[in-house]
């Protein structure tokens, strides 16, 4: 029944045991996690108050999306000052308190670094505008002359041209919103500035960084026109390096410098790349031993609910990461993509991370069932895994937000054709009966919460057998106890529509078998195998379609 392994397992346990190799890291999107006041926007004191919840969930670390001073044109990914906290979210003292309290609870903390672009309200950009063409201040960005429209045909990821003209006639590059001018990383001042940013936060005790659009910092020499299809790149169908603004080889030198800096600090600091590059071999270049520690496996996130496709992704991910000695880093959701409980509920493969206007409503029952099975797969796989806030509650994407409530710039810049990412950013429900479901001290929330959040609130799911929250808690407990992420792993041949893993660890007793059933019919659990946990408590003798089990086979 098993793929016989005369040459050793598909994946062998890592040789070293640094924490980040197997860590489960929880993404906090600050404006939507918890608020410590009445303004309806989440903040650092709100996060700190809820940290015990995360300790009890069983994660190892948190990554906090940007909380720096920002005009919030892209929800904080437009940074006006890398060395402070936006009053919207609190103060530097609040940040220090958060790190101290997290450490006291045994949680590590990553903060977000946004090095591709600043806000147009950053002092550097303001100085560049004032200094004028040809100045050293403009040389920190991409300011170009062009008499005949934009300097090249590059599209902004948020729609329209990637170039905006300033009153003196020059154009500046922005791969995202016009309020997010791209920095010129061939300028040594830019490199030096970011090393200072990293030092600032490392000195304050953070354990590492999530690095925004890590693949985009270096642009091809001469900024040549782009003749490809951006959407094919986003959907993983065309290698990212075919665009002159992604995955250029020069980016790696930047991260080698950063790695040296992190390594000069005590305490196993680490960094994870947000790099939407493909194929997986290109992604593995970011996690060579002298670069990043981890890189999000977005190809896994974008794999449809199809056993063959998932198995292929698992094999390729493990092989490409093993080749460079790095852990695979699994991810099912983030603040940028449709929530899994909805994504897996579409009648078609929803590999695009964004929702277009006019798409039908997904089947949430099916989506939730599959999302729970997918979590069981992800949390059993060797390596590290990320959980995006609310994923552990099984929150669906909120697709019916009113247009005037939507704040994601992709909505407006696409003329409403792309609904954007607000639907996965709706403030979390903590307590069913409290105003704003306990999000803050009032019933105000920066995006409206749907009625369906009531039953999904943390207090409704806590202690509730069969709830998604209790499923995640139990999975994290078993994952830790059986050291699943640090074991040898083989794929089992159980049939085309099933995914079977066998995980063996030398340090714990017992071999674990994981079965995810994507077939229409049940999969009978062989005699002698004990169910450790199932994606639904009712699963005992056989595993129904779209369900998963972890079995003790020792
Ligand atoms: C990736 C971030 O995750 C996303 O939210 C942001 O809009 C872009 N990078 C631009 O910073």
Sorted by where each starts, the structural domains of the chain and their CATH numbers stand as 17-117+188-473 (3.20.20.80), 123-173 (3.90.400.10)
* Active site (annotated) includes residue 274: yes
Total Cβ atoms within 10 A of residue 302: 22
Residue 2, pLDDT score: 44
Phi-psi bin for 8: left (phi > 0), alpha (psi -120 to 50), beta? left
Does residue 259 contact residue 208 with C-beta atoms inside 8 Å? no
C-alpha of residue 486 to centroid of ligand 1, in Å? 31
Could you say which of 78, 212, 391, 422 is catalytic?
212
| CA nearest neighbour of 482 among 72, 22, 100 | 22
Residue 4, pLDDT score: 43
* Active site (annotated) includes residue 433: no
Atom of ligand 1 nearest to the CA of 116: 11
| CA nearest neighbour of 500 among 345, 351, 308, 326 | 308
C-alpha of residue 41 to centroid of ligand 1, in Å? 19
- What kind and span of H or E run contains 513? strand 511-517
pLDDT digits (tens, 9 = 90+) for 252-303: 999 999 999 999 999 999 999 999 999 999 999 999 999 999 999 999 999 9
C-alpha of residue 390 to centroid of ligand 1, in Å? 19
Q: Do you find a cis peptide bond into 279, omega within 30 degrees of 0? A: yes
Q: Decide whether any atom of ligand 1 lies within 6 Å of the 213 Cβ.
A: yes
Q: What is the phi/psi pair of residue 190, to 5°?
A: -65, -45
pTM: 0.97
Q: Decide whether any atom of ligand 1 lies within 6 Å of the 337 Cβ.
A: no
Residue 510, pLDDT score: 79
C-alpha of residue 174 to centroid of ligand 1, in Å? 13
Q: Decide whether any atom of ligand 1 lies within 6 Å of the 437 Cβ.
A: no
Residue 352, pLDDT score: 82
Contacts of 149 (CB under 8 A, 6+ apart): none
pLDDT digits (tens, 9 = 90+) for 118-148: 999 999 999 999 999 999 999 999 999 999 9
Burial class (CB in 10 A: 0-12, 13-18, 19+), 96: middle
Residue 1, pLDDT score: 39
Length reported for the chain: 554
pLDDT lower than 70: segments of the chain:
1-7, 508-509
Buried b (16+ CB within 10 A) or exposed e, 378-397: bbbbbbbbbbbbbbbbbbbb
Contacts of 188 (CB under 8 A, 6+ apart): none
Widest CA span in the chain: 77
Q: Decide whether any atom of ligand 1 lies within 6 Å of the 212 Cβ.
A: yes
Residue 313, pLDDT score: 98
């Amino acid at each position: 029944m098993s793929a016989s392994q005369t040459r050793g397992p598909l994946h062998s346990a890592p040789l070293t045991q640094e924490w980040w190799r197997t860590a489960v890291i929880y993404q906090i999107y600050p404006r939507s996690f918890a608020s410590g006041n009445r303004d309806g926007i989440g903040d650092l004191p709100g996060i700190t108050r809820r940290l015990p919840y995360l300790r009890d969930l069983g994660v190892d670390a948190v990554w906090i999306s940007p909380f720096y001073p920002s005009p919030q044109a892209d929800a904080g990914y437009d940074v006006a000052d890398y060395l402070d906290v936006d009053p919207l979210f609190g103060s530097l003292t609040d940040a220090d308190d958060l790190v101290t309290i997290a450490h006291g609870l045994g949680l590590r903390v990553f903060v977000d670094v946004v090095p591709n672009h600043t806000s147009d309200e950053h002092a550097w950009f303001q100085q560049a505008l004032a200094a004028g063409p040809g100045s050293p201040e403009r040389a920190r960005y991409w300011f170009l002359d062009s008499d005949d429209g934009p300097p090249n045909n590059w599209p902004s990821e948020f729609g329209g041209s990637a170039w905006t003209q300033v009153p003196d006639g020059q154009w500046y590059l922005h791969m995202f919103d016009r309020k997010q001018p791209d920095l010129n990383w061939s300028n040594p001042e830019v490199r030096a500035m970011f090393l200072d940013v990293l030092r600032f936060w490392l000195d304050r005790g953070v354990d590492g960084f999530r690095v925004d659009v890590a693949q985009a910092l270096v642009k091809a020499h001469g900024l040549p026109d782009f003749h490809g299809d951006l959407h094919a790149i986003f959907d993983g169908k065309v290698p990212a390096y075919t665009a002159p603004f992604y995955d250029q080889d020069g980016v790696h030198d930047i991260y080698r410098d950063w790695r040296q800096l992190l390594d000069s600090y005590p305490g196993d600091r680490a960094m994870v790349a947000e790099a939407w590059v493909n194929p997986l071999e290109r992604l593995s270049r970011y996690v060579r031993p002298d670069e990043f520690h981890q890189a999000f496996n977005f190809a896994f996130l974008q794999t449809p609910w199809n056993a063959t496709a998932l198995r292929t992704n698992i094999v390729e991910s493990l092989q490409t990461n093993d080749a460079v000695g790095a852990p695979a880093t699994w991810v099912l959701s983030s603040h940028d993509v449709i929530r899994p409980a909805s994504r897996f509920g579409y009648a078609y493969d929803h590999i695009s991370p964004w929702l277009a206007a006019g798409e039908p409503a997904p089947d949430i029952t099916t989506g939730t069932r599959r999302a729970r099975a997918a979590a069981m797969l992800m949390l059993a796989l060797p390596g590290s895994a990320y959980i995006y806030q609310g994923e552990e509650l099984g929150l669906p994407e909120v697709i019916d937000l009113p247009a005037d409530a939507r704040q994601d710039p992709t909505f407006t810049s696409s003329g409403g054709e792309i609904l954007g990412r607000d639907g996965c950013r709706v403030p979390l429900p903590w307590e069913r009966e409290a105003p704003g479901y306990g999000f803050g001290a009032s019933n105000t929330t920066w995006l409206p919460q749907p009625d369906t959040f009531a039953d999904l609130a943390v207090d409704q799911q806590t202690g509730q057998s069969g709830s998604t929250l209790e499923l995640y808690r139990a999975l994290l407990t078993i994952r830790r106890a059986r050291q699943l992420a640090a074991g040898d792993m083989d794929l089992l041949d159980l049939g085309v529509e099933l995914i079977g893993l066998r995980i063996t660890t030398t340090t714990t007793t017992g071999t674990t078998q994981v079965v995810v059933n994507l077939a229409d019919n049940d999969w009978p659990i062989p005699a002698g195998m004990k169910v450790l946990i199932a994606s639904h408590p009712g699963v005992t003798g056989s595993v129904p379609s779209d369900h998963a089990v972890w079995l003790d086979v020792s």
